[in-house]
Structure 1
Amino acid sequence: MKHIYPYSLLVLVFLLSCCKSETKSEVQISQPEKPITSAHQPKPFNISDFESHVDTLISQMTLEEKVGMLHGNSMFANGGVERLGVPELRMADGPLGIREEISEDNWSPAGWTNDFATYYPAAGSLAATWNPELAYTFGNSVGQEARARHKDMVLSPAINIIRTPLGGRTYEYFTEDPFLNKTLAVPFVIGIQDNDVMACVKHFAVNNQETNRGTVDVLVDERTLREIYLPAFEATVKKANAYSMMGAYNKFRGDYLCENDYMLNTILRDEWGFKGIIVSDWAAVHSTVKTLENGLDIEMGTPKPFHEFFLADKLIAAAKAGEISETEIDKHVKRILNVLHQVKAIDSTGRTQGSLATQAHFKDAYDIAAESIILLKNENNTLPLQLEGVKSIAVIGNNATKKNALGGFGAGVKTNREVTPLEGLQNRLPKGITIQYAEGYLERYSKNENDQKEEVTLQGPTTIDQLDATKLEEALTAAKTSDIAIIFAGSNRDYETEASDRQNLNLPFGQEELIQKVLEVNPNTIVVMIAGAPYDLGTIKDKSHTLVWSWFNGSEGGNALADVLLGTINPSGKLPWTMPKHINDSPAHATNSFPGNESVRYKEGLLVGYRWFDTKHIEPLYPFGYGLSYTSFEFSDIKTNQTEYTDTDILSIKVTIENTGKFDGKEVVQVYVSKPNSKVERASKALKAFTKVHVDSGKTQTVSLEIPIKELAFYNVDTKSWEVEKGVYILQVGNSSRNIVSKQKIRVTE
């Protein structure tokens, strides 16, 4: 089915300021002039165009040269064959932007001075925009930076489903919903690959926890696998022509995923028609012959002699001993040569040159950040800030100055620009307003000296949550003596990190106590959370009148956040996951099926995220899809193009949105579908369409959303096929999974 992305974008005017300071804004904005829509098409996979050349190259290679292409020859490249003009396949981490250059044989920085890159918002931020056009912008922008650094592959996007709020990589993944996931993943991949660079979609698959990630055996039923955990991966193959896929660390039904015949061959290649290459996660390979025969193409790893990899000397020995055929080896080499041709790495004629850390890319980062910020609570219309008569503002919290481009375990970005929230306010506030900054709390971890972070373990970093008396007093003094207080709290990329799941939903570093004490001395306090995953905000929600959610939001994050607080930008972000009141309300924890030990069984089945909360009638703290605005919207005239459909039809829904408030703004129309009296288990509702629309104050817009009836299918495990059940369906239209304003019945017939 063809996906069309009818999303209006904020049209921005981009000006360079004359100020030389890096912290000053160089990104200016204006109000949108007209909607922009786009349906990005993937580049075709034209293997036949260079098949004869590939065959000739392989015929001229020695066994050793072929095997050299199947494993890492440095930390981020495989082996090339220089004498035949076959280059190394050069890779770069990319979830937050292009990682700095590291040494050839270890993780130490290479020490380059020309590898400063744009720091892009984290994937959770992108998902909160609910804007596939910005997903394309993100992919296209980071793809340009990859080419400027002469890379052939970007290890991104990471699209695993968010199964638990405690996941260490929740900030790096998109969402808990498979439809939102695939709708963002497809344009992201197309955007990367439009620049003659491979997107490496990861981590395939069911890689939903960091605890025991290298050994845990994931057990999930087939229908749940197909309906929840695989749709985004499938879409990147079928709709985006993804050139590469990364095998995950964990096992699936007994076999490691980098040697899993069912996942890599049966599903990925045979069923979906994947033509690209499969790369291992680093040090995720555990065998030689089995790994190659079951589908992996390139083994990458952590520092050890590269010839000791499973697909290095061991593979040469296996081939010479007759344990594996050279024909099998040729098959994998051919795949690699095909994708190298596809991105013009062998014949570089006309290849994209790219650009790095440009003003245009900083603007891309700003655009994403600006649409990602979520207004959770705004009693008495405290926001946007009214500055008349305001002489001083207290800015409180370590997160006001914390930088997140680097940190934690895993990929970061070396950047020359990361505007913090404090700097953003300094850039945007009138000069006559005094800012009093107080750190408020110390970012402290146990089992360390001099407040340095402990080594990351699978149990997660343990924080010291006792407030420092001096820091607390400084914060309270600033709050008492200022007209307005803004607390920047939440998390950071040392606390939320790859290789470690969090222990609980508690805010670290004593922040909850700090917030309560500041609220007591200055009720005119705005609380801003900066984090990538849910936290227990119940008490803060009850006691504060204004609550904003921001993210690890890239090079321009501080400016974007300041513009939202001041009303230059009307917030339009929506939660891409459910924020629970208690951890045991979340399905993986309610079923006591996280994190497991040697194995983990996904007992909640299909009821992941909001599907669980809505089906089980559990009230979340904030629901999936939730987010307020400085204005108000009303939906009306909700109509379908017909009332009866067959499974080959396309359902069209028209919705009129009126902006009844005083600010221009954007709203996300969300369409959920339910199937009463189904013959199979189903969630009470599932997202099947959405669109983001800009509406001027006092104006109306009518939008159309399309749902191919095949999108309503369930996976029939008996027939091993997708089936559209006949009968009545309920369309539920709203602006979150819990705020449904209209329900309509349709019928699917033979």
Structure 2
Amino acid sequence: MTKAPQVPQVPNDKAREDAVEAALGRLDLDAKARLLAGQDSWSLPELPEIGLRSLVMSDGPIGVRGTRWTADDPSVALPSPTALAATWDPELAHRAGVLLAQEARRKGVHVLLAPTVNLHRSPLGGRHFEAYSEDPYLTGRIGAGYVNGVQSGGVGTTVKHFVANDAETDRFTVDNLVSERALRELYLAPFEAIVENAHPWGIMTAYNTVNGTTMSEHRYLVNEVLRGEWGFDGYNVSDWTAARSTIGAINGGLDVAMPGPKTVYGAPLARAVRNGHVPEATLDGAVRNVLRLAARVGVLEGAEPAVARADLPAPVDGEALAREIAHRSFVLVRNQGALPLPAGHTVALVGAAARDARVLGGGSATVFPAHVVSPLDGLAAALPEGALTYSVGADPNTELAVADKGFVLRAVCRDAAGTVIGTGSAPSGQINWMGADLPDGVTHDRLHTVELTGTFTPRDTGPHTFGIKGLGAFTLTVDGTTYYDDVQATDSDDPFIAFFGDPQPRAEVQLTADTPVEVSLTYGVVLPDDAAMKSVGFSLCHQEPRRDPDELIAEAAEVARAADTAVVVVATTERVESEGFDRTDLRLPGRQDDLVRAVAAANPNTVVVVNSGSPVELPWRDEVAAVLLTWFPGQEGGAALADVLTGDREPGGRLPTTWGALTDAPVTRVTPTDGQLPYTEGVFIGYRAWEKEGRIPSYPFGHGLGYTDWTYETAEAEGSRADGVTVTVRVTNSGTRAGREVVQAYLAPTTPDPDRPARRLAAFAGIEAAPGETVEVALELPRRAFEIWDESANGWAFVKGSYEIQVGRSITDRRLTSPITV
């Protein structure tokens, strides 16, 4: 039996530990308890008596939002985590982390609440765009690169959500029943790999329960496994509002309860110590972890930060890196010679998502970039004048979206007497003021109403729908007429429903293109005294006139017929992929499937660009000339798309998760029964389950085409049980242009075992080669690839025997085999 090795120490840890101990010794009980409770939504309190400044946290993972949830404070928006994983490049993930640390320092943020390393257990998981992969090894490699990159910039990370937070349905209460073997081999594995290889400064525990114990109180998984076996020495923060018990949380290893100021820590924790329910030594351990974090990020006087200012990485061009990650992540899953576009071809661009780009997923991962390059913008800039035509086709937005294009709004705050006490800008129709994030001069105790007011200039004539997202009393007025004056309520117990809930249509108004009208949405502020955090959140929503879909599709088909190539952009929406709910199917919303079929019938040279963060069904995939998956491609997505379509760059991605029809997917259940969700599939998720069930996906794990061809020539394995195995692979670029290949190695027991996957990803590496060039790459298969978790012995067991190391381009496209006995 083996245990994971202890993590390496950060340089100068001894001096920092001395500073931490000295600071801890100068704190009284109340100060220590106060330090472990958020002072507001995003920060911990300062303690001047020990030279401790306030420590600031911010959501990620594709950008750094900062402490203000507003487009007034823009952030670089990178492609989604699924896109980053699709690059199969830990070094690129490291560079992404360096950029995010740079962004964090710019915004005064010390800790990034990222990355998300939960697994794609079921394709219905609504938040999968925010996680990396269905495979724990790939997830661990990408996550370690990301964490190392962020922390090289002197900013902490919190790897989340520990653990088994793999779906959104009933996420606050669900009890996920997971075998110890599945926990160790799948769900804990990425966290373990990141602790071992990246030494993260933080972990965030999940909302959910695992095997009967809520994760914010899970002594076994936090204290015994994470801290004991793995040697994690960072801080453990709750997911927001997840901590429910003072004694249970502190004894379960939770260091910080967020957000504040009302939490189960602070004064309740000090009382629990005084009453003898919690040993002060346990409290001291949590404070020590927080002070260690503060020392590492440079907010504790007398402690040298983990990264000195002189050692910070060189500045990164955020726009250039966002564009590079995007084209490196795009996965070309089908190409019948349509791509790259031949020079001189005329192009018909079709789809609402080509004009109004979906570049990121919904929920707490939302950031606000200074600009977004849509596919229409990107292709218009890249193609010669007159080569591009555009048609909207079918709109995926079947529901209202937050008011954006055409709206010029501001927020007016008034007290109970109707007196204006402050104003703030509102770049969109969304107000999310969390904690102290209020306009200048406004306080929670005086704030009575917030009015979003301004003008809307429609771009289309017809009936426009206006609506509201949020809970409480609202008054909606458009062009001088009040359409709604009532209380909007819900039966959901989700504390974030005002942010993530459904928008409700409340008015339909006939408007004329290019003619401005006044709009106003007034919200009656209610801030309960017992609220875990004081927040003001609501949105003015809007939907453009709905033309007959059949007419729009027919128009798009005619535009496509007249061009050499048709490019159709299809997409999911925020009501399909977001934090807060799971998916009910894998279909594209609206009439987009009909649109693709109509365009393909009109023009056989049709390329479909799929703009989604996770798998969708593609029932027309064999009817089109090419299919390109672009995920949520970040702010430069349209420019990167033009790079790839024109052949200026190669689509470099490989699938980090299996794509297939929902009816064929082996693991789909995300809804608990009587509060419990059994993970009955054990260690068989993703490609492991597809292979076990003998089902054929649309596109397999690891699949991806480039613009050149590759010949796999030899694979030779050597090594021993003690230090793992190395397989050396020779690959030749047998195509006509330079390219990048991801060489993948899968480990397969020679003798089938129904309790083990037929094969699993054990190593991979990216290579680059010019036409005709041969490259030799050594893939290191770690010892863990040959181990399974032995539940009877409660430890890792090395499984001796004969194996095949199968090398190729995907889980199903295996080109070479090298036998080995260990």
What is the TM-score of this pair, normalised by structure 1? 0.87
Highest Rg: 1 or 2? 2
Which secondary structure does the structure 2 equivalent of 1:744 belong to?
Answer: strand
Supply the RMSD in Å over aligned alpha carbons.
Answer: 2.8
Secondary structure of 2:319 counterpart? helix
* d(CA) in 2 for partners of 1:612, 1:683: 8
2:281 is the counterpart of 1:327: yes
State how 1:241-320 maps to structure 2 within 5 Å: 241-301=199-259, 306-320=260-274
Going from structure 1 to structure 2, the CA distance change for 1:678 and 1:621 (only over 3 Å counts) comes to closer
Q: Is structure 2 residue 658 aligned with structure 1 residue 578?
A: yes
Distance change in 2, residues 1:353/1:394 (3 Å): farther
Are the structure 2 counterparts of residues 367 and 60 from structure 1 closer, same or farther at C-alpha, using a change threshold of 3 Å? same
Amino acid at match of 2:713: S
SS in 2 for 1:202: strand
**What does residue 704 of structure 1 align with?**
778
Distance 2:328 2:229 in 1: 37
Q: How does 1:540-551 map to 2 (within 5 A)?
A: 540-551=620-631
Task: Point out the more displaced range, 465-474 or 672-681.
Answer: 465-474
Distance 2:271 2:390 in 1: 68
2:126 is equivalent to residue 168 of structure 1:
yes
Q: Is the 8 A contact 2:610 2:629 kept in 1?
A: yes
Return 206-215 or 342-351, whichever deviates more.
342-351
* Residue 732 of structure 1, CA deviation: 0.9
Q: What is the 5 A alignment of 1:15-414? A: 44=10, 46-102=12-68, 109=70, 113=72, 115-301=73-259, 306-347=260-301, 351-352=308-309, 360-379=317-336, 381-388=337-344, 390=345, 392-404=346-358, 408-414=362-368
- Cα offset, 1:353, TM superposition: 9.2
Gaps of at least 5 residues in structure 1 are: 4-40, 103-107
SS across alignment from 2:610:
strand
2:384 — aligned with what? Answer: 430
- Amino acid in the other structure paired with 2:331: I
- Aligned letter for 1:514? L
Provide closer, same or farther for how the CA distance between residues 357 and 163 of structure 1 changes in structure 2, counting only shifts above 3 A: farther
1:673 paired to 2:747: yes
* 1:361 maps to amino acid: G
2:713 is matched with which residue: 620, 636, 652?
636
SS in 1 for 2:39: strand
Preserved contact between residue 769 and residue 775 of structure 2 (Cα < 8 Å) = yes
For residues 80 and 238 of structure 1, do their structure 2 counterparts lie closer, same or farther at Cα, with a shift above 3 Å needed? same
Other structure's SS at 1:450 match: strand
User: Which residue does the alignment assign to 1:563?
Assistant: 643
Whether the 8 Å CA contact 1:343–1:351 is kept in 2: the answer is no
Question: Structure 2: how far apart are the matches of 1:85 and 1:194?
Answer: 24
Q: Secondary structure at the match of 1:311?
A: coil
Residue in 2 that maps onto 1:21: none
Q: Which amino acid aligns with 1:579?
A: W
**Structure 2 CA distance for partners of 1:467 and 1:640, relative to 1, 3 Å:** farther
In the alignment, the residues of structure 1 paired with residue 356 and residue 9 of structure 2 have an alpha-carbon distance, to the nearest angstrom, of 40
Change beyond 3 A, Cα 1:427–1:466: closer
SS in 2 for 1:714: strand
Q: CA deviation at 1:462?
A: 11
Per the alignment, residue 22 of structure 1 pairs with none
Q: Structure 1 residues 42 and 726, CA, compared in 2 at 3 Å: closer, same or farther?
A: closer
Match of 1:647? 721
Whether 1:619 aligns to 2:696 is yes
Contact 1:160 1:174 in 2 (8 A): yes
Any idea what the Cα deviations from partners look like across 1:184-236, whole Å, max 9, x if unmatched?
Answer: 11111110101111111000001000011110001111111100111110111
CA drift at 1:99: 0.8
Give the whole-Å Cα distance in 2 for the aligned partners of 1:462 and 1:81.
42
String of CA shifts for 1:638-695, please: whole Å, max 9, x gaps: 2123xxx542033221111111211211111111011133677100000001111111
**Alpha-carbon separation, structure 1, partners of 2:9 and 2:348:** 51
What amino acid sits opposite 1:562 in the alignment?
Answer: A
Higher strand share: 2
Matched residues in 2 for 1:44 and 1:540: separation? 52
Superposition pairs for residues 724-735 of structure 1, below 5 Å? 724-735=798-809
The range that moved more, 251-260 or 352-361, is: 352-361
The one-letter code of the counterpart of 1:557 is: G
Structure 2 CA distance, aligned partners of 1:541 and 1:467? Answer: 25
**Measured at CA, do residues 453 and 408 of structure 1 come closer, stay the same or move farther in structure 2, by a change above 3 Å?**
farther
Per the alignment, in what secondary structure is the counterpart of residue 677 of structure 1? Answer: coil
Q: Which residue of 1 aligns with 2:764?
A: 690
Secondary structure of 1:73's match?
coil
Given that 2:38 and 2:45 are in contact with CA atoms closer than 8 Å, whether structure 1 keeps it comes out as yes
Whole-angstrom distance in 1 between the partners of 2:592 and 2:692: 33
Question: C-alpha separation between the residues in 2 aligned to 1:629 and 1:51?
Answer: 50
Is the partner of 1:635 in helix, strand or coil?
strand
The amino acid of 1:174's aligned partner reads Y
User: 1:464-613 residue pairs with structure 2 within 5 A?
Assistant: 468-537=549-618, 539-581=619-661, 583-589=662-668, 594-613=671-690
The Cα of 1:72 is off from its aligned counterpart by 1.0
SS of the aligned residue for 2:560 comes to: helix
CA deviation after TM superposition for structure 1 residue 452, in Å: 5.6
SS at match of 1:588: coil
SS at match of 2:629: strand
8 Å CA contact 1:445, 1:453 repeated in 2: no
Residue by residue over 1:419-453, the C-alpha shift from the partner in whole angstroms, topping out at 9 and shown as x without a partner, is 11111111211234243343532511289992768
Query: How many residues were matched structurally?
Result: 688
SS at match of 1:585: coil
- 2:796 match: 722
Is contact 1:588–1:603 with CA below 8 Å preserved after alignment? no
**Aligned equivalent of 2:465:** 450
Contact 1:121 1:553 survives alignment (8 Å): yes
CA distance in 1, matches of 2:365, 2:132: 16
Q: Tell me the distance in 2 between the aligned counterparts of 1:403 and 1:298.
A: 38
**Cα deviation 1:694-713 (Å, max 9, x = unaligned):** 11112221111111334311
Assess if the C-alpha contact under 8 Å between 2:396 and 2:592 holds in 1: no
Gap change, CA 1:453 and 1:664, over 3 Å in 2:
farther
- Is the partner of 2:257 in helix, strand or coil? coil
Aligned amino acid, residue 243 of structure 2: V
**Uncovered stretches (5+) of structure 2, i.e. residues with no partner:** 403-463, 471-489, 495-499, 505-542
Query: Kindly tell me: are residues 127 and 250 of structure 1, through their superposed partners in 2, closer, same or farther at Cα, counting changes over 3 Å?
Result: same
SS at match of 1:289: helix
Query: Structure 2: which amino acid aligns with 1:268?
Result: L
Greater shift, 44-53 or 682-691, is seen at: 44-53
Aligned CA distance change for structure 1 residues 603 and 435 (closer, same or farther; 3 Å): same
- Verify the 8 A CA contact 1:664 1:695 in the aligned structure 2: yes
Percent of pairs with identical residues: 33
SS in structure 1 of the partner of residue 746 of structure 2: strand
Mean Cα deviation higher: 551-560 or 425-434: 425-434
Structure 1 pair 410–494 and aligned structure 2 pair: CA distance change class (3 A): farther
**Deviation of 1:477 (Å):** 3.5
Question: Cα distance 1:580–1:594, how it changes in 2: closer, same or farther (>3 A)?
Answer: farther
